[in-house]
Amino acid sequence: MLSKDNISELERLDEYKFEYIAEARLKSVGSNLKKEILDPNNYQEIFPEYKIANFNYPGRKLLVSYSAKCALKYADDRRKTIEKLKKKLKKSSSPKEYLSPSGYRKYLKVGG
């Protein structure tokens, strides 16, 4: 992750000439950089359905990759999770039963 604490720990490795790769979630970058990352025109296809792009992140190089195969898998995983939740909700009168750390919470909106 690109938290300030993690970046400072990684910077300590610079004196030893270590090279490293850190993973980050899209939500951890600023909105301007997020817009650049989400713009498909910034990517170069290196293999069929696999693209990369380089961005500047304060004092760092940010390499972003996109895989159509992974995107399809993740979309299918989300679809399956939502279907499972819908089946469970049909059997229950209280959706709050599913507000546990079971992975369904992020897909469920409960109104007052």
Residue 111: the pLDDT is 63
Which pLDDT tens digit goes with each residue over 84-102? 878 877 877 666 666 665 5
Q: For the chain, what is the domain count? A: 2
Residue 99 and residue 108 in contact, taking contact as beta carbons nearer than 8 Å: yes
Residue 80: the pLDDT is 93
Mean pLDDT value of segment 24-28: 77
Residue 29 and residue 57 in contact, taking contact as beta carbons nearer than 8 Å: yes
Q: Does any domain span residue 40?
A: yes
Same domain (yes/no): 22, 36: yes
Cα dihedral across residues 77, 53, 51, 20: positive or negative:
negative
Q: Does any domain span residue 50?
A: yes
Residue 53: the pLDDT is 94
pTM greater than 0.85: no
Residue 69: the pLDDT is 95
Q: Does any domain span residue 8?
A: yes
Same domain (yes/no): 24, 52: yes
Compute the distance between CA of residue 27 and CA of residue 18 in angstroms, rounded to an integer.
27
Q: The domain containing residue 15 runs over which residues?
A: 4-69
Q: Does any domain span residue 112?
A: no
